[in-house]
Amino acid sequence: MTQEELDAMMNGEIDDIDGLEDDTDEKVDVEAEQSKSQEDPGDIGLPPGYNEDTSHHWPLPATDENKMVHQLDDVTKESEAKASEIFDIIEVISNDLMEKEENVNNAIEVITSNIELFTTLSAKFPDVEAFKTQLEKNEAALNDTNETLEMLQNSGDSIMSVMDIMQYQDIHRQKIERVINVMRALSKYMNTLFEGKIEDEKRVSSAQHIAGDTHNDLASTDDIEALLAQFGN
């Protein structure tokens, strides 16, 4: 029942209170359906009238996806875990490179020994073409092996550079944690600033209707009965 309908009833302009209540219930149902159609049924705690068209007028709802400190905590936790995984992979690659580098060094020693042998044999037996051929093949193999060793060493240096760059991830994590600490300190300060001496449960309920209000909020049945009781006395 609106305030205008209540005034009309008190002035004797409306006799059918039951029919008025039925009309009021229908209006309430219509308004509830309109309000429901404007809201997303999947969202909880959204202000009335919140939808895609009006979302820029409202702050984001306080869900787990929008809580700032909660999100930053997730970022630092996930980034630290992923960085640890990357370091583990890099360490495996670095160990493999060092192992292969050692194998290549062993191969270089063998090839160098072969070159010395075939050099001596070619000098003593210049007419044996096989000694010259093997000497040339071993010299070519030594060049290829040296290039492979150089590539492995450069790859090892690149891995070390990657590990140095990844150290910045820890610095970024520390910066985010510092922001989190500042935000938490501000939150605690604001909570302390707005603290009261009276518990919320013991506070007087806020008035729903104040003199001078121009809204058309519906009066409850209890309000109507109390008002009629006052006039009856």
pLDDT of residue 95: 93
**With contact defined as beta carbons under 8 Å apart, do 18 and 26 qualify?**
no
Output the six-digit token pair for 35. Answer: 């309000």
> Rounded to an integer, what distance in angstroms lies between the CA atom of residue 177 and that of residue 123?
73
- Among residues 134, 133, 87, 142, which one has the least CA distance to residue 109? 142
Determine the length of the chain: 233
**With contact defined as beta carbons under 8 Å apart, do 69 and 127 qualify?**
no
pLDDT of residue 72: 87
pLDDT of residue 165: 87
What spatial distance separates the first Cα and last Cα of the chain, rounded to whole Å? 23
> Rounded to an integer, what distance in angstroms lies between the CA atom of residue 176 and that of residue 80?
12
> Rounded to an integer, what distance in angstroms lies between the CA atom of residue 191 and that of residue 172?
29
3-state helix, strand, coil in the chain (%, to 5): 75, 0, 25
- Among residues 141, 81, 68, which one has the least CA distance to residue 111? 141
Output the six-digit token pair for 39. Answer: 């809201």
Q: List pLDDT tens digits, range 193-220.
A: 888 887 777 766 655 565 556 655 555 6
pLDDT of residue 30: 45
Collapsed DSSP state (helix, strand, coil) of residue 207: coil
**With contact defined as beta carbons under 8 Å apart, do 7 and 230 qualify?**
no
pLDDT of residue 37: 45
- Among residues 53, 57, 29, which one has the least CA distance to residue 39? 53
> Rounded to an integer, what distance in angstroms lies between the CA atom of residue 76 and that of residue 176?
7
Intervals of the chain under pLDDT 50: 17, 20, 28, 30, 35-44
| Torsion angle in degrees (nearest 10) through CA of 17, 23, 26, 32 | -80
> Rounded to an integer, what distance in angstroms lies between the CA atom of residue 56 and that of residue 146?
65
